[in-house]
A and B are shown apart, each in its own frame.
Chain A
Amino acid sequence: MTEKSAPTALSRAEISADVLLELKDLHTHFHTDDGLVRAVNGVDLTLRRGRTLGVVGESGCGKTILSRTVMRIVPEPPASISGHIFWHRQNGEIVDLATYPVKARQLREVRGKEISMIFQEPMSSFSPIHTIGNQIAEALLVHERVSKKEAQERTIEMIGMVGISQPDKRFHAYPFELSGGMRQRAMIAMALVCRPTLLIADEPTTALDVTVEAAILKLIKSLQAQLGMTVMIITHDLGVIAKMADDVAVMYLGKVVEQGPVEAIFDAPQHPYTRALLKSMPRLSNTGSRLEAIRGNVADPYTVLPGCAFFPRCGEGEQDRCTAAMPPLVEVGDDHLVRCVMREGVAHGRGSG
């Protein structure tokens, strides 16, 4: 495949100790009754320590499956995973998470301990019949040799850290006794209680009020600074990206179509899809003009057309060039890559640096 030769998210020189996670040609395919769904279809990404990567795209573009593939918590079968997930462990060891069988102990050791996740739906993501404290402390009990008492103490401390008042009382509360925002805080506490190096936040604020959203995002940011975490945030909301991310990857139909530093993506978007997403985002500066919707829907995942998947909805393409083959990722600026044949000329014109 053409992607193989394409450079990864960073200039090669920078691939060094500060790399935390590398995805190489990652595929997650679902074998369903209706056909094969290529939810993640050849993704190359690199996460650097301490930074925040935002993954953005419409519903159905594969961003959630991508995040779950990293943790290997997509159900296999029906899913099958190929490619590489190079994870740089806390002890310096580099392991490929994609190679382990799905029930492997090595995977369990990483999950919840080194990589943690917070989910979109804080209510249903908690068991309704166990207390919050019980569920948060479980991560500690599973991963660390701690007594129940110590686990409880550390859990209460964590509950306090995420800004829930009266943490020792809340420890014994059931999920249905908390508000949505409180539940999301509890979820963050659950994810962070083992002090992971990578936090994956999958649409962490979608189910929340706008006011609560801001508070939760702020909390994630401050905890990131406090604990020195790397964050991967999955969202369809460019506003969240703008607030949180250092780097951005734009996904469309299982592929990264554009990636780069957040400034580059917002100021000089290269891919027509990225531009369309930006145009559909409300801004304070362009009050008065109509928001633009992207034509059509995310295409049917069962049928794969040759060439660029966005072409049917794209206004800029040329039939022959766009449908010939899947365009490779080309570098158009510092760490700024785009998967569009219309930009190939540009890429050759600009050197890196």
Chain B
Amino acid sequence: MADPQVEIGRSAPAEEAGQTSTYATASQWQLIRRKFRRHRLAVVSVWVLVLLYGMALFAQFLSPHDPFEFNDKLVGAPPMRVRIVEDNKLQRPFVYGYKRTVDFATMRRYYEVDPETKFVIRFFAKGFSYELWNLFPTDRHLLAAEDGGYLHLLGTDRLGRDMVARILYGARASLSIGLVGVLISFVLGLVIGGISGLVGGVVDDVIQRLIEIIRSFPTIPLWMALAAIVPKEWPQLWVYFGITIIVSLIGWTSLARVVRGKFLSLRDDDYVVAARLSGGGNAWIIRKHLLPAFASHVIASLTLAIPAMILAETALSFLGLGLRQPFISWGVLLQEAQNVRSVALMPWVFTPVLFIIVTVLAFNFVGDGMRDAADPYA
């Protein structure tokens, strides 16, 4: 009836339009970005992730030691502390070496800080040679101990390998599995969910039932079974992709649901109907109206799917069913930490867990922020 609610912005007098124009002309993505920025934890998490992926990308450059190199003098050594003061004087940053004593009754090694051996830390120093991204051969590293010294900032594992280097190398596998896995899930989810939502009818019913069934399967046993049938003879890279595919086989179902749900609800939305009535073709409507409308939702769901995949890889590798030595991933590193004894004796072999937790948290926060921002008009 006589709703005196008046129409907005543009037809209003000039000074009115001036006031509201910032809102009226902000695009959907501008609004999303604006809303995302309000979720401070999410913003911080984005930077944490940038940092983590940067670490993975420059793992070789950042590692002071070769992750496969055994240091038989320092087996299972605790982390070294960086010092800058010696004899009450400020020095270049350095670490002390360790003196080892072995209790032959228990075969336990004890490490004591040895002020006699001192390793000065050099920046951009020479170390083991590598090819950055298989492209640039070099032997420069961000940090390394001076001439042949040791720099184990996070200690060494049971075989005397540097934990810093191993965590950095492990980041490459663990962090990329999430991304690659999500990519596979994304394609599967988009295609299957899209078909389900667009075609509808019997096809939709069958796909929905199938998704329900897959989701009612306990994931870990299924993953374990699938991982167990990955042949042991496969080369490392194949195993890597095999595990990635296995991990992503479950993830697509939730994405397919999101996509289908959005398709169904949007298909009958007034503005889509309006577009169709004004003669828009199917492809045009999908590209122009549907995709922008749920792209943000899809990105949010994708982000939230990544941590589950990272955790899955970790769990499988931890159990020895996923990636295997000598391949390094965070899960593989945690195989070292399978029992309480190692927690008690060498707690530093657990540092990969901190990285896993931080990564998973960061993805969760970013995903949360995106989900909140996905609908900027809400």
Which residue numbers of A lie inside 8 Å of B, CB to CB? 58-59, 210, 236-239, 276-277, 280-282, 293-297, 300, 312
Q: Are B19 and A58 in contact (CB under 8 A)?
A: no
- In this complex, what residue of B is CB-closest to A294? B6
Q: Which residues of B contact A295 (CB under 8 A)?
A: 6, 12-13
Q: Which residues of A contact B4 (CB under 8 A)?
A: 58, 236, 276-277, 280-281, 293-294
B15 within 8 A of A: yes
Q: Are A237 and B15 in contact (CB under 8 A)?
A: no
Q: Are B16 and A237 in contact (CB under 8 A)?
A: no
Cα of A74 to Cα of B2 in the assembled complex, Å: 27
Q: Are B3 and A237 in contact (CB under 8 A)?
A: yes
In addition to A58-B6, A59-B5, A282-B1, 6 A-B residue pairs with Cβ atoms within 8 Å of each other are A210-B1, A239-B2, A293-B4, A293-B7, A297-B6, A300-B19
Chain B 16-33: CB-based contact to A (< 8 A → 1; otherwise 0): 100110000000000000
Q: Are B15 and A312 in contact (CB under 8 A)?
A: yes
Interface centre among B2, B3, B8, by most chain A C-beta atoms within 10 angstroms, is B2
Cα of A295 to Cα of B15 in the assembled complex, Å: 12
Q: Which residues of A contact B3 (CB under 8 A)?
A: 59, 236-237
Chain B 184-218: CB-based contact to A (< 8 A → 1; otherwise 0): 00000000000000000000000000000000000
Secondary structure call for the A interface: loop
What would be 28 A-B contacts, judged by CB atoms less than 8 Å apart?
A: A58-B4, A58-B6, A59-B3, A236-B4, A236-B5, A237-B2, A237-B3, A238-B2, A239-B1, A239-B2, A276-B4, A281-B2, A281-B4, A282-B2, A293-B4, A295-B12, A295-B13, A296-B6, A296-B12, A296-B13, A297-B6, A297-B8, A297-B9, A297-B16, A297-B20, A300-B19, A312-B15, A312-B16
Q: Which residues of B contact A297 (CB under 8 A)?
A: 6, 8-9, 12, 16, 20
- In this complex, what residue of B is CB-closest to A273? B4
Chain B 156-171: CB-based contact to A (< 8 A → 1; otherwise 0): 0000000000000000
Cα of A238 to Cα of B4 in the assembled complex, Å: 9
Q: Which residues of A contact B15 (CB under 8 A)?
A: 312
Interface centre among B4, B15, B16, B19, by most chain A C-beta atoms within 10 angstroms, is B4
Cα of A58 to Cα of B3 in the assembled complex, Å: 8
- In this complex, what residue of B is CB-closest to A205? B1
Q: How large is the interface on B (under 10, 10 to 19, 20 to 34, 35 or more residues)?
A: 10 to 19
| Number of CB contacts from chain A to chain B under 8 A | 44
Secondary structure call for the B interface: loop
Q: Which residues of B contact A300 (CB under 8 A)?
A: 19
Chain B nearest CB: distance from A231 CB in Å? Answer: 20
Q: Which residues of A contact B2 (CB under 8 A)?
A: 237-239, 280-282
Cα of A189 to Cα of B19 in the assembled complex, Å: 46
- In this complex, what residue of B is CB-closest to A276? B4
Cα of A276 to Cα of B6 in the assembled complex, Å: 12
Chain A nearest CB: distance from B108 CB in Å? Answer: 58
Chain A nearest CB: distance from B98 CB in Å? Answer: 54
Chain B nearest CB: distance from A210 CB in Å? Answer: 7
Chain B nearest CB: distance from A254 CB in Å? Answer: 17
The 8 lowest CB-CB distance pairs between A and B, nearest first, are A281-B2, A280-B4, A296-B12, A293-B6, A296-B16, A237-B1, A58-B4, A59-B5
Q: Which residues of B contact A276 (CB under 8 A)?
A: 4
Cα of A281 to Cα of B2 in the assembled complex, Å: 5
Chain B nearest CB: distance from A290 CB in Å? Answer: 14
- In this complex, what residue of A is CB-closest to B3? A236
Chain A nearest CB: distance from B14 CB in Å? Answer: 11
Q: Which residues of A contact B5 (CB under 8 A)?
A: 58-59, 236
- In this complex, what residue of B is CB-closest to A283? B2
Cα of A239 to Cα of B4 in the assembled complex, Å: 12
Q: Which residues of A contact B7 (CB under 8 A)?
A: 293
Cα of A277 to Cα of B3 in the assembled complex, Å: 9
Q: Which residues of B contact A281 (CB under 8 A)?
A: 2, 4
Chain A nearest CB: distance from B378 CB in Å? Answer: 15
Chain A nearest CB: distance from B12 CB in Å? Answer: 5
Q: Which residues of A contact B16 (CB under 8 A)?
A: 296-297, 312
- In this complex, what residue of A is CB-closest to B9? A297
Cα of A280 to Cα of B6 in the assembled complex, Å: 10
- In this complex, what residue of A is CB-closest to B8? A297
Cα of A59 to Cα of B8 in the assembled complex, Å: 13
Q: Which residues of B contact A280 (CB under 8 A)?
A: 2, 4
Chain B nearest CB: distance from A54 CB in Å? Answer: 14
Which residues of B from 99 to 143 have beta carbons under 8 Å from A? none
Cα of A204 to Cα of B128 in the assembled complex, Å: 79
Q: Which residues of B contact A236 (CB under 8 A)?
A: 3-5
Interface centre among B5, B15, B19, by most chain A C-beta atoms within 10 angstroms, is B5
- In this complex, what residue of A is CB-closest to B2? A281
Q: Which residues of A contact B6 (CB under 8 A)?
A: 58, 293-297
